């Protein structure tokens, strides 16, 4: 099995006003984006070409939106942001860039 192209753990995943998990996983592997619960159960998945990842307006740097299969998920990836003063992009930006790279949209 191929190595994941992107993995984030400890992700809060919300759908509308409902929290689905506070310690989930986001994984991009073999051209698919998977949203998983803290127990590893799949919440949703789709080919990365069909996923739309974006940054919500007026939100903190640890938040991202992912549209999969007609559903919009709000992701809070803040646990993996770099420490204050350390170089590196916020986790949400890394997620959005990973989706675009995996889908073949290099910017």
Tokens of 44: 């949703």
Residue 26: CA atoms inside 13 Å, Cβ hemisphere, count?
32
- Return the pLDDT at 43: 97
pLDDT in tens, 10-46: 999 999 899 999 999 999 999 999 999 999 999 999 9
Instruction: Determine the Cα–Cα distance for residues 84 and 18; give it in Å rounded to an integer.
Output: 30
Mean per-residue pLDDT, 53-58: 89
């Amino acid at each position: 099995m191929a190595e994941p192209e992107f993995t984030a753990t400890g992700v809060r995943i919300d759908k509308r006003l409902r929290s689905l998990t506070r310690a989930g996983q986001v994984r991009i592997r073999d051209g698919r984006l998977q949203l998983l619960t803290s127990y590893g159960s799949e919440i949703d998945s789709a080919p990365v070409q069909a996923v739309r990842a974006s940054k919500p307006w007026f939100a903190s740097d640890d938040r991202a939106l992912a549209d999969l299969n007609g559903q919009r998920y709000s992701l809070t990836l803040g646990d993996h942001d770099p420490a204050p003063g350390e170089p590196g992009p916020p986790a949400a930006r890394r997620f959005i860039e990973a989706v675009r790279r995996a889908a073949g949209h290099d910017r």
